[in-house]
Chain A
Amino acid sequence: MSKAWWVLLLAMGPLAGMSFISSARTYAEVSGLNGSAAGVGEALDPLSGVWAPTFSACELAAVFLLPFVAIGLVAGDRQSGALRLELQQGMTAAARISIKAAVLLAGWMVAMLSPLSAIVLWKTYGGSAYPPELATLTLGHILNAGLTISLAAAMASFTEHHSTAAILTLGFTVGTWILSFFGSIQGGWWERAAGYTPAAMVAQFQRGLVRLDVVLIALILIVTGLGFGSVWMRLGVAVPRRIYESAALGVLAAAAIFASTFLTPCWDTSESRTNSFSEADERALAGIHEPLSIEVHLAQEDPRRVDLESRALSKLRRVIPRVQLRYVAATSIGLFEQSNPGYGEIWYDVGGRKTMSRATTAEAVLEAIYSVAQVKPPVESDDDVFRGHPLAVAPKGAGTLFYIVWPAIFISGGIFLRRRLI
């Protein structure tokens, strides 16, 4: 492995450590440490309070460090001339690049030991860890790393030099951020496409949500990136043929991605059921067989619309995938529509029966749907409510582990391996 990988490993300790220490301190304060109001933290769950921020170190590393490791491994051979020797061995380009991707992914797993070791620390403090949501979070960051590796591999194979490949890779990542921004303003297809960018994908895993379409699209993109890489690594194949093969691969990938967007299965693995209504509500909603349509008179950038989407509609779609949703707005910000008497209304229609509400909370949305569907609301049970896992303990020993022990292990490991290899 390259020097860049050792730098990535070194950086992962302090990066994850800083995130973990800061989030664990906040969690402890909200849980009542140092005289803050005890009980405030009852609704705090470790996933959003500790693990999502701690693992965000992986997101940073995947964007700013991993591309250089991947480019070094893929483009290094080309620049040094080793590729011209290796290509004569007869191994297919696809096998070569897949092996390199597997090595990179294995290297990434080693780097992920840093945030994963925070779980062990957390358990020693007496904290709660819910394996399904942690597995989901880890899966999200592995897929994100896979996307980075395949993108970097593709860019490294298109270009002759490391620097050009790095610029293209970072440019592509910045492009996905622009797409997210554009999607949040424009809505529609832009918003839908923005939902599949790496940042948006990771955000869903951070909430403990596993969506089949997201996982499949990530895998398709990974395979496509590696496919482009293998096509362009075949130096002995004429450029026009490589262009045709890339175009065919691109069309196939686009078709597969488009088909995947229609897949609706998803699983909420969060202990707090962040992405779901209560089980009783889900059973009641599943009992509504007439078509449900909702017309929302809120502009794209109206905070109420964002609230409605995150608190209620995203959960509703998981129970009733065929819900018809229509947004009505003349502008994207809605500022000058406030005086319009119909602005802010949310109309619910079940089998021709209609009702209107302006509230955007999950409870209000459910109430409106039950009312228009003529379904008796389920009795709320105390058992259904997630009470949280407050933990008023300071993160002792985390600084030593992440700022001293982790770098020391990898500096000495790197020196030892270097001496053994030479």
Chain B
Amino acid sequence: MLFEVRNLCKRFGRIAALSDVSFQVREGEVLGLIGPNGAGKSTLFECLAGVLPCDRGSVECGDKLVRDVLFYVPDGIAPWPSQSVRWALEFTVGFLGGNASFYDELVDQLDLGEILRQPIGTLSKGQRKRALLAIGLLTRQPALLIDEPFEGLDLRQARDIAKALRIHAARGRTLFLSIHQIADAARLCDRFVLLDGGRVRGEGTVEELAALADGSGDLEEVFLALT
């Protein structure tokens, strides 16, 4: 086990965004966080990364600090908008302590060559997503939390990125991906945490989740049965 989440709670006024969320993340796995819109997926990631305060609960990483174990890549941000993609990647290596040896490989895998000199603020949604994924994959933490890794990407790009993520997972990087497209999640992930209404409705492989749903079938059917 790489880290364990215990009884995480977060409220926004009267709304309970997360209620006693508990699960485990294993080393080297690709874990999918699935759930309908508004389930609390992004809130959970932000609480885990420490960029949003949680009301109760903890993240246990053994004797390590959370920030040394996981790095979170939010969805829909355009960091350092006036700086180029190359600057952002170099900043990730220099300031965020990223792995410089992955630089060229990631530029190639994520097809960033043509946008390296472009300011981040001028990128399209898909280009920005690829740049953000590169930033995340450059970081040194063993676990990478990515919010909606396929958002804004076309089919070909989504496939290429899934392939790149698989390569990094095969090298031992733990990936925890928040995905609302169940088909994408089913293709890429080993296990799943199913979140709905701020609560964990299930955790495990498709078969384990199907057992929870009292039946068999694919992930989509399990999702519909449990949410």
Contacts and interface: CB of A to CB of B under 8 A. Distances in A.
B128 to A, nearest CB: 10
B38 to A, nearest CB: 20
B82 A81 contact: no
A400 interface: no
A339 interface: no
A46 B55 CA distance: 62
A84 B77 contact: yes
B135 to A, nearest CB: 7
A35 B83 CA distance: 58
Interface string B56-72: 00000000010110011
Contacts of A90: 65, 67-68
Contacts of B46: 84
A81 B96 contact: no
Given A82-B79, A90-B67, A235 B87 contact: no
Interface centre among A83, A85, A236, A421 (most CB of B within 10 A): A85
Contacts of A83: 51
A236 B50 contact: yes
Contacts of B78: 80-81
A236 B51 CA distance: 4
A237 B50 CA distance: 8
Contacts of A255: none
Contacts of B163: none
B80 A88 contact: no
B77 A239 contact: no
A57 B78 CA distance: 36
A238 B51 contact: no
B81 A80 contact: yes
A421 B95 contact: no
A311 to B, nearest CB: 53
The prevalent SS among residues of B at the interface is loop
A83 B53 CA distance: 15
Contacts of A286: none
Given A82-B80, A421-B83, A89 B52 contact: no
A87 interface: yes
A83 B77 CA distance: 10
A279 interface: no
Contact of A81 (B67, B68, B79): B79
Contact of A88 (B55, B96, B117, B118): B96
Interface string A111-124: 00000000000000
Contacts of A88: 49-51, 67, 71-72, 96
B84 interface: yes
B117 A422 contact: yes
Contacts of B67: 88-90
B135 A85 contact: yes
A92 to B, nearest CB: 12
A84 B95 contact: no
A84 to B, nearest CB: 5
B172 interface: no
Interface string A67-88: 0000000000100111111111
Interface string A215-250: 000000000000000000001111100000000000
A2 interface: yes
B74 interface: yes
Given A236-B51, A238-B53, A89 B81 contact: no
Nearest to A72: B82
B97 interface: yes
Contacts of B82: 2-3
Nearest to B83: A421
Interface in B80-100: 80-84, 87, 95-97
A235 B52 contact: yes
B119 A422 contact: yes
Contact of A236 (B52, B73, B135): B52
Contacts of B135: 85
Contacts of A2: 82
Contact of B51 (A3, A80, A235, A239): A235
Given A88-B67, A88-B72, A422 B77 contact: no
Interface of B: 46, 49-53, 55, 65, 67-68, 71-74, 76-84, 87, 95-97, 117-119, 135
Q: Which 7 A-B pairs have the closest CB atoms?
A: A81-B77, A82-B79, A236-B50, A238-B53, A84-B51, A422-B84, A235-B51
21 contacts: A77-B79, A80-B81, A81-B74, A82-B79, A82-B80, A85-B73, A85-B74, A85-B135, A86-B96, A88-B50, A89-B67, A89-B95, A90-B68, A236-B49, A236-B52, A237-B53, A239-B53, A421-B83, A421-B84, A422-B118, A422-B119
